[in-house]
Amino acid sequence: MSDTHVLPLEPHTRSTETRHMFLNIGPSHPAMHGIIQITAELDGERLLATDVEIGYLHRGFEKMCELGPYNNAIPYTDRLNYVSPLINNFGYCWAVERLMGIEAPERCQYIRVILSEISRITDHLTCVGASAMELGAFTVFLYMIKAREVLWELIEAVAGARLTISYGRVGGVKADLPEGFAQRTHAALEEVRRVLIECDKLLTRNRIFVDRMQGTGVISKELAISYGITGPFLRGSGVNYDVRKAYPYFVYDRLQFDVPLGSTGDNYDRYLVRMEEMEQSMRLVEQALKQIPAGPILVDGGGQAIPAAAMVDLAKLGQTGGMKRVNVVTDPTLGGSTKSFHCGINAPERRAVLPPKEDTYGNIEGLMHHFKLVMMGHGIRPPQGEVYAPVEGANGELGFYVVSDGSDRPYRVRVRPPCFTIMAALPDLLIGGMLADLVPTFGSVNMIGGELDR
């Protein structure tokens, strides 16, 4: 029965040749942000295979961190996720703090929460707005950028800069909140809510938008977990994992907020998750502003003393292990002849913050404190060890893995960038879809080159 009929198509198919089209999308392509290349194999408009190439914005962030003292890495972290740089700042500082065994004062923790959440809103606004723009809804993008502008003005009032803020400090933050910050924030959040409602009306039930987003870029729970995806992308698939809830840091455990979850894991769910997360972030900011206590913002700079026990020289406790190996040679540098053994013999140095200028100029302790932090070869000096400090970045779990060999420079700083794992999963999301689906899917990844390529 198998050869009952001969296909009449035979000669016809021989005469027409069908070939797949290979299309280079990016890096110079409007939707690829200039830093991603997707090589696609197309059958008509259907994607048969894709190859996602990253690395166009690789700047050697991790290596650069190893080349300078701990504090030098803070400005680099601004350039990781450059849409929400404050979260990176705080993440890195928190990692070094944990390495040193110090804890930032309570007020500082609240400031970090407030600014992190404001940054999260700016990030989500950018992501949702840019996705909408790439779908053709340009007006929504500008509305959202307008709202982001309001928030960035807040950040500017606190940190003095909009993007490259370098506001985090090991042991605290650079400066206290300005006068009337709470009122300004409430007004700004009001404005953001207004914009969000407007955009919600324009998008959420817009038939064209829903058609473009629903059922495209679907990723299952299992696949998302197996790729190590975190953040809104994972929560869009319905997995309840949020670092703020799972491993509370700063003061997130004292604040009430919900973790919005999607169900199908498509672009539309991720859009809804992001929209809801913005509302939850605003809720967090409002609560934190209500709860924030007065007090110092830096561990030892703002008057909060480090307990004496923490400062005792290990040598005085008889732990002189490294001393015996000291090979005394005269050394003209200020590092001193024993510098290479400091890690073995010195007390864990817990001072991380410069003293007030009055102390530096007014007493010998202050001057020495200043000296120990700013002179070459000194600086922050965590004890030997390693720490992994995850914070919930806007795109997911942003982890800093810092290894200290006891010297004044990090031995290794490894960043776990949230969108890196998502980019790895991107071909799975794209293959089988239309070429046009690439746009909302890639938009919902919220690929940030600085963070992805480092």
- Chain residues binding other proteins by CB under 8 A are 21-24, 29-31, 45, 132-139, 142-143, 146, 202-203, 206, 208-209, 211-212, 434-439
Distance of closest approach, residue 15 Cβ to other proteins, in angstroms:
21
Distance of closest approach, residue 137 Cβ to other proteins, in angstroms:
4
Distance (Å, whole) CA 80 – CA 82: 6
Distance of closest approach, residue 218 Cβ to other proteins, in angstroms:
15
Nearer to other proteins, 122 or 404 (CB): 122
Query: Which amino acid is it at 77?
Result: T
Distance of closest approach, residue 130 Cβ to other proteins, in angstroms:
10
Distance of closest approach, residue 144 Cβ to other proteins, in angstroms:
11
Distance of closest approach, residue 438 Cβ to other proteins, in angstroms:
7
Nearer to other proteins, 189 or 439 (CB): 439
Distance of closest approach, residue 447 Cβ to other proteins, in angstroms:
14
**What secondary structure, in 3-state letters, does the chain show?**
CCCCCCCCCHHHHHHCCCCCEEEEECCCCHHHCCCCEEEEEEECCEEEEEEEECCCCCCCHHHHHHCCCHHHHHHHHHCCCCCCHHHHHHHHHHHHHHHHCCCCCHHHHHHHHHHHHHHHHHHHHHHHHHHHHHCCCHHHHHHHHHHHHHHHHHHHHHHCCCCCCCCEECCEECCCCCCCHHHHHHHHHHHHHHHHHHHHHHHCCCHHHHHHHCCCCCCCHHHHHHHCCCCHHHHHCCCCCCHHHHCCCCCHHHCCCCCCCCCCCCHHHHHHHHHHHHHHHHHHHHHHHHHCCCCCCECCCCCCCCCHHHHCCHHHHCCCHHHHHCCCCCCCCCCCCCHHHHHHHCCCCCCCCCCCHHHHHHCHHHHHHHHHHHCCCCCCCCCCEEEEEEEECCCCEEEEEEEECCCCCEEEEEEECHHHHHHHHHHHHHCCCEHHHHHHHHHHHCCCHHHHHC
Is the four-CA dihedral 238, 244, 246, 252 of positive or negative sign? negative
Nearer to other proteins, 206 or 346 (CB): 206
CB 214 within 8 A of CB 267: yes
Distance of closest approach, residue 185 Cβ to other proteins, in angstroms:
21
Nearer to other proteins, 66 or 198 (CB): 198
Nearer to other proteins, 132 or 173 (CB): 132
Distance (Å, whole) CA 268 – CA 219: 12
Nearer to other proteins, 391 or 439 (CB): 439
Distance of closest approach, residue 436 Cβ to other proteins, in angstroms:
5
Distance of closest approach, residue 191 Cβ to other proteins, in angstroms:
12
Nearer to other proteins, 99 or 195 (CB): 195
Q: Taking the C-alpha atoms of 129, 132, 138 and 143 in order, what is their torsion angle to the nearest 10 degrees?
A: -30
Nearer to other proteins, 349 or 437 (CB): 437
Distance of closest approach, residue 54 Cβ to other proteins, in angstroms:
19
Nearer to other proteins, 72 or 139 (CB): 139
Distance (Å, whole) CA 250 – CA 246: 13
Nearer to other proteins, 315 or 435 (CB): 435
CB 107 within 8 A of CB 293: yes
Nearer to other proteins, 99 or 151 (CB): 151
